[in-house]
Amino acid sequence: MSFARATAVNSSEHPFTAEIAEGWDVVGNANGGYLLAIGARAMAIAAARPHPVSVTAHYLSPGRPGPITIDPQIIKAGRRLTTVRATLLGEERPLIELLGSFGDLRSIEGPTRVDAFPPDLPPPEECPRAEYDPARGFPPALMDRLDLRLHPDDARFLGGTPSGDPLLRGWVRLRDDEPMDVFGLLLATDAFPPTIFNANLPVAWTPTVELTAHVRSVPEPGWLRCRFSTRFISGGMMEEDGELWDSSGRLVAQSRQLALTPAG
């Protein structure tokens, strides 16, 4: 099933309806970026604006395959941006709470100054692919829905020898040449393995409290180059900062999530 279909929203009813599809999960729980993409699609429809500019999700309960509802509410429809909130509801409980501002990225202009570069990566065919391991559950089923290739230096945790540095760089694209749209960027902000896997710390998983994504440009077709890094693991929490660059070498999205670091 394509990403577009797996995140489709039926806006002919109120509340809107959608379906968590099978296979976009990590050990049974729908991926956070996948849920964010569904929610943001619903919010963009409600706002009648094509692009999420900044969207924040707080993660409340794990999502399982099946029907969900979304009730976007317009907070303010401004000249450039429309601010919307929404709850993504599973059958029994809220899954994520969302707040975002939506607009048309092509209509916003200003000067350019960029003090950063896309991550330096070997070509995709020289980067190990994280492939779904149904027996262990890691890499998770989500890896069957994407084509995700890790920088060889950052992929060693796959073989049991973490790099020691909470950093993951790599390529990602949707499968079957499906174009990556702005909602695909939201998926990609949470699609890489957790940086903690390279950190050599007694933490088995890092449940996301909150994720904010800024979409800075509509991506050109092709692979995304991504960099996810963590500088502060402290106080029972860590941030994970993401940069997503498109095939034209432009930053297309930035993300930051706050996750808990329970002893594993």
- Site residues (vs its own copies, CB under 8 A): 53-54, 56, 58, 60-61, 75-76, 78, 80-81, 83, 85, 87, 94, 97-101, 105, 108-116, 166, 199, 201-203, 209-210, 212, 214, 216-217, 230-239, 250-251, 254, 256, 258, 260-263
Find the shortest distance in angstroms from Cβ 135 to its own copies.
29
Distances (CA, A) of 262 to 67, 119, 205, 207, 222: 30, 30, 7, 9, 37
Q: Which is nearer to its own copies, 122 or 264 (CB)?
A: 264
Amino acid at 250: R
Amino acid at 115: D
Residues in the chain: 264
Q: Which is nearer to its own copies, 27 or 260 (CB)?
A: 260
Find the shortest distance in angstroms from Cβ 99 to its own copies.
4
Q: Residue 148 in contact with residue 191, Cβ under 8 Å?
A: yes
Find the shortest distance in angstroms from Cβ 88 to its own copies.
11
Q: Which is nearer to its own copies, 17 or 61 (CB)?
A: 61
- Distance in angstroms (rounded) separating the CA atoms of residues 154 and 228: 11
Find the shortest distance in angstroms from Cβ 233 to its own copies.
4
**Long-range pairs, 141-146, Cβ under 8 A, ≥24:** 141/23, 141/24, 141/25, 141/26, 142/23, 142/24, 142/25, 142/26, 142/31, 142/34, 142/191, 144/23, 145/3, 145/6, 145/23, 145/24, 145/174, 145/175, 146/172, 146/173, 146/174, 146/175, 146/187, 146/191
Find the shortest distance in angstroms from Cβ 189 to its own copies.
13
Find the shortest distance in angstroms from Cβ 70 to its own copies.
14
Q: Residue 185 in contact with residue 244, Cβ under 8 Å?
A: yes
Q: Which is nearer to its own copies, 149 or 151 (CB)?
A: 151
**Cα-Cα end-to-end distance for the chain:** 34
